[in-house]
Structure 1
Amino acid sequence: MEQYTLNLLFVGGTFLLYIGIAVWARAGSTSEFYAAGRGVHPVLNGMATAADWMSAASFISMAGLIAFSGYDSSSYLMGWTGGYVLLALLLAPYLRKFGKFTVPEFIGDRFYSTTARMVAVACLIIASITYVIGQMTGVGVAFSRFLEVSNDAGLFIGAAIVFFYAVLGGMKGVTYTQVAQYCVLILAYTVPAIFISFQLTGVALPPIGLFADHAASGVPLLTKLNQIVTELGFQSYTEHHTNTLNMVLFTLSLMIGTAGLPHVIIRFFTVPKVSDARWSAGWALVFIALLYLTAPAVGAMARMNLMDTIYPQGAQAESLNYDERPDWMKNWEVTGLLKFEDKNGDGRIQLYNDASEEFAATAEANGWQGSELDVNRDIIVLANPEIAALPGWVIALVAAGGLAAALSTAAGLLLAISSAVSHDVVKGTLAPNISEKGELLTARVSMAVAIGVATWLGLNPPGFAAQTVALAFGLAAATIFPALMMGIFSARVNNKGAVAGMLTGLFFTIIYIFLYKGWFFIPGTNQLSDTPDGWMFGISPLSIGAVGAMINFAVAFTVSNATDEPPKEIQELVESIRVPRGAGAATDH
């Protein structure tokens, strides 16, 4: 059977499954649309949370980053996993005990302020829209290669699928769809990894194979990979090369950003009891660990296979003749995500670090005039089975898995946005007397609008998927996480402090990111340099969310201590949230 037919069968089959689940689990009330009727089992919720969490960035981009940056990209693993520990210990059970539908609703009630609620809505929408851009990018990448359609057409197809099951099913439909999507994506990630690990090392378990001997050379796999990349002028794969402070801040930004992402938090509103929220977070960590323990091996082995393809006889021998390139290269060239430019006219593919001053003499002696192969990092996981010449059904499975990862997170993000608009803006502020039927219709309309906006932004994303997502984490870290933490653990922070802190964190983070990424300019000025030498105190735009969070905390406490204390009933409410009573059903809304 042709590869295209296999891809179509696997992708089409999973899409039919998602649509069937949405029809079966369609929401018939606002409680089902916002919180799945608060009846989801903790194990299923943990699985759905894992799918909600493991986005295109985790499935598609993270291993690509690890493949090209090595140890320095371990921040993604540490930050994202650590964030779930924070979420399980510090936020999930307390927010579930409060018994609300949305994050802005909690902030509005805790800080007894409609203004605080609206600021939280704005922060939620900005962070979620930024995050969903990465998911739509991943959808386009997967569709353009495996279903042989354009990037734009792939985005529209993916948006149509999300529109159907998210608008129809709400949180109830999305939850059970995400359970199915988790099963698809984890199989799609681990099955090819097992094949490739066995090929390269003779060890079937990828996390163990990563530290085993390379079968062809007899030396440890990572040692062999280090040898190849350093011979071509690249930095050592297993050593730390970036600014340590920046790496710490970036990891912290990912951690607290994870704990502050609204689409993740609202998953814990779907379980029956407060204790179930903590169990859900624990199960989510188990399900996430299956992928995250595999990702370093996927990245390293993909880099090894890529280098072996270009330099089959070793880095010191002649490279691959372009006319003899394998079919997987031809397939990805069509998408524009892999490009070759024969700069020295020798007909061979040179792939080396042409920015390395130390390697310049070697390149000149070889007659090389620049690295000639441009490989988009987002294709590594998707192309990995093809590079390793795995069976066609494995390639088709990876296609379905990549789309499942992107669509599951996109649905969760869009649900968080639509819930904030319909429940917090319309029901909570503009039309408090709206009927349940009217609110449900508003939620579905806002979901449709959010899908349209996300698709439009996905057509021209501001960076590759994982980078775009990292910026969203910075925004969540600087705005929502501090407000939630202070709302739960400090009875002294008042409405003025919360609003001032969120706004300061939001504007500081956005301005810093946009100035250094060059996404807007101040009239009469030039773009600030987006290099370590040009950053303020050497802090990357991707790491600034941690600094924004610190500023948020500082401003909130300063303003609160300079103004009136919160009302006594609010202080008592804060104390009651933390009291270990109420392990049964939380107050329904």
Structure 2
Amino acid sequence: MKLRKLYTYYTITFVVFTLTVGILEWAGVLGRNGIGYAFMTLSVAVYAIIGIINRTSDPAEYYVAGRNVPSIYNGMATGSDWMSAASFISMAGILFVQGYNGLAYIMGWTGGYVLLALLLGPYLRKFGQYTIPDFLGSRFYGNGPRVVGIIAAILVSLTYLVAQLTGVGIIVSRFIHVDYNLGVFLGLAGVLVCSFLGGMKAVTWTQVAQYIILISAYLIPVVTLSVKLFAFPLPEFTYGYLLQRISVMENQINGQTVQTDIPADKLNPKIDAAKEAESRDIWKKRAEATAADLKDPAAALAAKKTALEAKVALLSSPEKIEAAKADLAAKLKGLEGAEAAVVQASLNELASPTSIAAAKEATEKALKGLPATPEAAKEAWEGKLKTEKGQSAPVKNYLALPIDSKTPGTDMLNFLGLIFCLMVGTAGLPHILTRYYTTPSVKQARSSVAWSLFFIFLLYFTAPAYAAFSRYTVLSTLVGSSIDSLPTWVTSWKIVGLFDVVDVNKDGIVQFADFVIKSSDFVVLATPEIAGLPFTITGLVMAGGLAAALSTADGLLLTIANALSHDLYYQIINPQASVKARIAISKTLLLVAAAIAAYLATFRSALIAETVAWAFSFAASSFFPILVLGVWWKRTTKEGAMAGLVVGLTIAIFYTLGNRFYGVDWLGVKSVASGVFGVPANFLVTIVVSMLTKAPAAEIQHLVESVRYPKGAFQGVDPSKAH
């Protein structure tokens, strides 16, 4: 009852704060920067206060929150822990870009909780330890399995943590206008105020508060849009109408004949199929030119440098400028369409002293921005070529099934493979599995899984609607608008580097082909601005995204620190270590892990959801098989588990890095689905090696049988006596 009152008051206070900010914005008292700072400051301050109140040095509270978290609150905390920056920021963005293909993330992540509830969650709680390596050490009677479990837990959690800090960097850099790298480290401070002070106890109660913010922030914008367009507050039931409109507008963009009874004012009369085709053709020519450059990057780089230097020299000479103007004017007479627009744009650069100065500045900037070496040029141009090819292709239908006519079956294989990896990866994530150690009983652990699924469902059920409303808004309002009168949100988000608007045919009008999506991570954060909603709602979304990223980062940092301090230092190196020393070491390692993850996040090597998918494949390939076999097959041996984990994880890491960065390709499977190779390998190796080695001792087999039953106390086994 006390907890219910506390979080009720907290929710009311948050609502009042949001309404107050909205009123101040409406009155003109609070600007955009002020709103961004207000939401960010309040969010971090609240989390810090909760962390300070719940600081502890008791090991049971630090590692498993005292095992007294009621199931509904553990469900909220797990939902917050689970719904990371990938769920909040990236999932709707992936659906925005990929359409039907993006549903793999929703089906995989929600389906994984079914596996977790049926196969692992309650049984790990019955075991009753602190960490997953604890389970491996006792179930597989030795420190060898514990050590490989520690290594796997760190790799999985660190990969996942990098994605969260990437999300933090994007949010902070956009809303308080600082450099992305600085945003990562500022956000890191928000993570540490909770996990550093109170361990799992502080993190749990902070995550409950963070869930309230993130789910409110996710639902309010899309509910507002649903009311605005349909006068109905349930977007999950109205976005189906938008899918029809989206399909019609996509067909119009592609120049296809469309017969529809949808009223014209619900579509976009400014869509110009001819202009869209013209823009795509220019992108195609750019792609051909870039492909030619890639045949000999060194020669192409030298030629570009020479051309830019010559242009700077031209723009510095009045005589050369006059001669160039005459040449361009003569050339213009024989051209029309897009080619004429390009020449006219060059002529406009030379029209006045102001335009000449601007052109010279831009050319000098381009010269400085050239890659330093042919190798760097090759890497940059490969990314450029990918963008140009994507922009030159017709718009893929939003509802198209994952079928690729060029390589039949490949897209469907990746679709199903990604679902598989996300499902089994969910059931193998150390920071999620540890949450079921925090409940008072096995019954509460089962109930906690159900509550977790409900709280996660609220967001995942809404994500497709969020993506549809956002895509419809872009198609119906941005396409056909004037380049010179683009809304302020375009400029703001271009600076962050997530997308760009490039007027390739120089007609001054935005075509859909001009809309360059560099990262789909902008969709959720930018949708309120795209739809013209008050900036207060954008600030609310920022607070929600920050809550999602920070809550997951807290849990991941604890997993890494505890794997090193509890599982490695206390269980293996120094079992006589005092409680004070163990927690001090945990806090020190937490800081080190946080700094390493923040440094890696500054590279921004992949999308948030892509990085998270890698973590899931690693978790699936390492933990899932040996945990399932450890609970459900008592013949599983120490040697089998160690061999299976090492082989499965090694294969997943090798294929992920090889496919993403070095061109390794097995059956056309993408790096995000590397677990389709790692998981079967782990199962196979574990089973074969277990059959070839001595069966576990009777005490261990009794342990396995006792863990499967929900009632009764588990007495544990001394590993030294179980050989």
Q: Work out the CA distance in 2 between the residues paired with 1:489 and 1:391.
A: 54
Instruction: Please point out which of 124, 131, 155 is paired with 2:153.
Output: 124
Instruction: Please point out which of 435, 450, 466 is paired with 1:298.
Output: 466
Q: CA deviation at 1:12?
A: 0.9
TM-score (norm 1): 0.90
Q: Work out the CA distance in 2 between the residues paired with 1:229 and 1:48.
A: 44
Q: CA deviation at 1:205?
A: 0.6
Q: CA deviation at 1:567?
A: 1.1
Q: Is the 8 A contact 1:274 1:585 kept in 2?
A: no
Q: CA deviation at 1:38?
A: 0.6
Task: Tell me: CA distance 1:346–1:221, structure 2 relative to 1, closer, same or farther (3 Å).
Answer: closer
Q: CA deviation at 1:63?
A: 0.3
| Amino acid in the other structure paired with 1:528 | G
Residue matched to 1:92: 121
Q: CA deviation at 1:230?
A: 4.9
Residues 446-472 of structure 1 deviation map (CA, whole Å, 9 limit, x = unaligned): 111111111111111320100110000
Task: Tell me: CA distance 1:391–1:114, structure 2 relative to 1, closer, same or farther (3 Å).
Answer: same
Q: Is the 8 A contact 2:706 2:714 kept in 1?
A: no
Q: CA deviation at 1:221?
A: 4.2
TM-score (norm 2): 0.73
Residue matched to 1:179: 208
Q: Work out the CA distance in 2 between the residues paired with 1:482 and 1:18.
A: 36
Q: Is the 8 A contact 1:72 1:240 kept in 2?
A: yes
Q: Work out the CA distance in 2 between the residues paired with 1:586 and 1:237.
A: 55
Q: CA deviation at 1:225?
A: 5.4
Q: Is the 8 A contact 2:78 2:452 kept in 1?
A: yes
Q: Work out the CA distance in 2 between the residues paired with 1:137 and 1:175.
A: 22
Residue matched to 2:455: 287
Q: Partner of 2:500: helix, strand, or coil?
A: strand
Residue matched to 2:663: 528
Q: Is the 8 A contact 1:97 1:587 kept in 2?
A: no
Q: Work out the CA distance in 2 between the residues paired with 1:469 and 1:478.
A: 14
Task: Tell me: CA distance 1:299–1:34, structure 2 relative to 1, closer, same or farther (3 Å).
Answer: same
Residue matched to 1:478: 621
Instruction: Please point out which of 660, 669, 672 is paired with 1:542.
Output: 672
Instruction: Please point out which of 689, 692, 699 is paired with 1:559.
Output: 689
Q: Work out the CA distance in 2 between the residues paired with 1:30 and 1:334.
A: 45
Q: CA deviation at 1:224?
A: 3.9
Task: Tell me: CA distance 1:452–1:229, structure 2 relative to 1, closer, same or farther (3 Å).
Answer: farther
Residues 391-449 of structure 1 deviation map (CA, whole Å, 9 limit, x = unaligned): 12211101100100000001111111111111100001111110111111111111111
Instruction: Please point out which of 40, 53, 69 is paired with 2:82.
Output: 53
| Amino acid in the other structure paired with 1:276 | Q
Residue matched to 2:485: 324
Q: Is the 8 A contact 2:52 2:197 kept in 1?
A: yes
Task: Tell me: CA distance 1:150–1:228, structure 2 relative to 1, closer, same or farther (3 Å).
Answer: farther
Residue matched to 2:478: 310
Q: Work out the CA distance in 2 between the residues paired with 1:22 and 1:426.
A: 25
Q: Work out the CA distance in 2 between the residues paired with 1:6 and 1:585.
A: 52
Which has more helix, going by share of residues?
A: 2
Q: Work out the CA distance in 2 between the residues paired with 1:410 and 1:228.
A: 43
Matched, 1:237 2:389: no
| Amino acid in the other structure paired with 1:75 | A
Residues 295-338 of structure 1 deviation map (CA, whole Å, 9 limit, x = unaligned): 00001111111122332xxxxxxx32211111110111222222
Q: CA deviation at 1:340?
A: 3.0
Residues 96-111 of structure 1 aligned to structure 2 (within 5 Å): 96-111=125-140
Matched, 1:335 2:496: yes
Residue matched to 1:210: 239
| Amino acid in the other structure paired with 1:99 | G
Contiguous gaps of at least 5 residues in structure 2: 1-29, 256-275, 277-393, 404-410, 719-723
Q: Work out the CA distance in 2 between the residues paired with 1:572 and 1:152.
A: 52
Residues 569-588 of structure 1 aligned to structure 2 (within 5 Å): 569-582=699-712
Residue matched to 1:192: 221
Residue matched to 1:446: 589
More displaced, 82-91 or 226-235?
Answer: 226-235
Q: Percent identity between the aligned chains?
A: 41
Residue matched to 1:407: 550
Q: Partner of 1:152: helix, strand, or coil?
A: helix
Q: Partner of 1:339: helix, strand, or coil?
A: strand
Q: CA deviation at 1:546?
A: 2.8
Q: Partner of 1:280: helix, strand, or coil?
A: helix
Q: CA deviation at 1:581?
A: 2.2
C-alpha RMSD of matched pairs (Å): 1.8
Task: Tell me: CA distance 1:585–1:575, structure 2 relative to 1, closer, same or farther (3 Å).
Answer: closer
Q: CA deviation at 1:580?
A: 3.5
Q: Partner of 1:211: helix, strand, or coil?
A: helix
Q: Work out the CA distance in 2 between the residues paired with 1:497 and 1:567.
A: 15
Residue matched to 1:363: none
Contiguous gaps of at least 5 residues in structure 1: 312-318, 353-370, 519-526, 530-534
Residues 454-508 of structure 1 deviation map (CA, whole Å, 9 limit, x = unaligned): 1111111320100110000000000011111011001111000000000000111
Residues 267-302 of structure 1 deviation map (CA, whole Å, 9 limit, x = unaligned): 111111011111111001111111001000001111
Q: Work out the CA distance in 2 between the residues paired with 1:137 and 1:208.
A: 32
Q: Work out the CA distance in 1 between the residues paired with 2:653 and 2:446.
A: 32
Residue matched to 1:250: 418
Q: CA deviation at 1:250?
A: 1.1
Task: Tell me: CA distance 1:587–1:385, structure 2 relative to 1, closer, same or farther (3 Å).
Answer: farther
Q: Work out the CA distance in 1 between the residues paired with 2:239 and 2:621.
A: 36
Residue matched to 2:16: none
